[in-house]
Homo-oligomer: A and B are copies of this chain.
Amino acid sequence: MPSPDKQTFLITGGAGFIGSNLADRLLALGHSVVAYDNFSTGQREFVADATKHPEYRLIEGDLLDRASLTSALDGVDFVFHLAANADIRGGLDNPYRDLEQNTIATFNVLEAMREQGVSRIAFASSAAALGEPSVFPTPEDCAVPIQTSLYGASKMACEGMISAYCEGFGFEGYVFRFVSLLGPRYPHGHVIDFVKKLRADPSRLEILGDGTQQKSYLHISDCIAAMLGVVEKQTALDSKHRVEIYHLGYPEYITVSTSVKWICQRLELDPVLDYQGGNRGWVGDNPFVFLDVSKMRETGWEPEFTIREAIIATVDWLIANPWLLERR
Contacts and interface: CB of A to CB of B under 8 A. Distances in A.
A141 B132 CA distance: 13
A278 B178 CA distance: 38
Given A144-B142, A157-B156, A149 B131 contact: no
Interface on chain A toward B: helix, strand, loop, or mixed SS?
Answer: helix
B163 A103 contact: no
A93 B187 CA distance: 40
Sorting the interface of chain A by its residue count into under 10, 10 to 19, 20 to 34 or 35 or more gives 35 or more
A164 B99 contact: no
Interface string A68-92: 0000000000000000000000011
Most chain B CB within 10 A, of A157, A165, A240, is at A157
A146 B125 CA distance: 14
A150 interface: yes
Interface in A12-48: none
B99 A146 contact: no
A145 B147 contact: no
Contact of A283 (B143, B157, B167): B167
Contacts of A9: none
Nearest to A134: B141
Contacts of A167: 146-149, 283-284
A241 interface: yes
Contacts of A111: 95-96
24 contacts: A91-B164, A95-B107, A96-B107, A99-B107, A103-B157, A104-B104, A130-B144, A142-B143, A142-B144, A143-B144, A144-B145, A146-B163, A147-B159, A147-B160, A147-B161, A147-B164, A148-B163, A148-B241, A149-B168, A150-B164, A153-B164, A157-B160, A164-B284, A167-B284
